[in-house]
Amino acid sequence: MNKGPDGKNTSGRGQRDLTVRVKSARGRTASSTRWLQRQLNDPYVKRAQNEGYRGRAAFKIMEVDDKFRFLVPGARVVDLGCAPGGWIQVAVPRINALEEKKGKAVGTILGIDLQEVEPIPGATIHQLDFMDEGADEQVKEWLGGSADVVMSDMAASSSGHKQTDHLRIISLCEAAAYLAFDVLEEGGTFVSKVLAGGAEGELQKLLKQRFAKVANVKPPSSRADSSEKFVVASGFRG
């Protein structure tokens, strides 16, 4: 029987597959009508609702971790850009942050976001702009030691200009990588969302110098029409 992160039975819920059509409404732009229609018909949005996850992003980290296995019992994790909390919901049971699996090491997770996040049992969450001066020092203070995993799903809201969005996401990813260099334990893992192309090459070069392996993955739940992918750098050299 399947259980969601809230512990409720999720089997058999929401099995019907009906395509929802959205009528254009006064005051709604064509692009927001398209967004709403896509959202209402997205199988991962439905799955997230049925299984109790706060967003479809939860499936991305689930799929990436199923392949690379870095969210292990006892892991100390930093999650940058964690709102509304889907990645944390996935990580808490995997790292055993609630001490549910007796005899297994107990993990910790520190989440950071610009936005306020509803508390999640087993996680410590702070509201902070990670691009503010001194933010990385603040995160290190909250962390109070080293980490095994630094993961980032940070993304600025879309400007509508592809190149600008690309540069913004790469600079968020770079800032996350520099925190990783400072706090990761030798052998640790860095996972970050990136947008393919352009400035991404420099970042990949930097990661290859500091990690034994750098892989790029596009999990099935990442929309095919988006240039989003995830870089997984493992075996931090220290």
Ligand X SMILES: C[S@@+](CC[C@H](N)C(=O)[O-])C[C@H]1O[C@@H](n2cnc3c(N)ncnc32)[C@H](O)[C@@H]1O
Q: Give the burial class of 232: count Cβ atoms within 10 A of its Cβ; 0-12 exposed, 13-18 middle, 19 or more buried.
A: buried
Burial class (CB in 10 A: 0-12, 13-18, 19+), 65: buried
104 phi, psi to nearest 5 deg = -105, 150
Minimum CB separation from ligand X for residue 31, in Å?
Answer: 18
Nearest approach, Cβ of 199 to ligand X (angstroms)?
17
Q: Which residues in this chain contact ligand X in the complex, by CB under 6 A? A: 54-55, 57-58, 81-87, 112-115, 129-131, 153-156, 172
| Residue among 90 and 214 whose Cβ is closer to ligand X | 90
Nearer to ligand X, 19 or 115 (CB): 115
User: Judged by CB, which is closer to ligand X: 112, or 214?
Assistant: 112
Q: Round to whole Å and give the CA distance between 107 and 91.
A: 9
Calpha distance 215→233 (Å, rounded): 6
CB of 53 to ligand X, least distance (A): 8
Q: Cβ 193 to ligand X, closest distance in Å?
A: 7
- Classified as helix, coil or strand, 13 is coil
Angstrom CA distances, 170 to 36, 55, 177, 187, 203, stand at: 27, 23, 10, 24, 8
Catalytically active residues are 193
Of 120 and 214, the one with the shorter C-beta distance to ligand X is 120
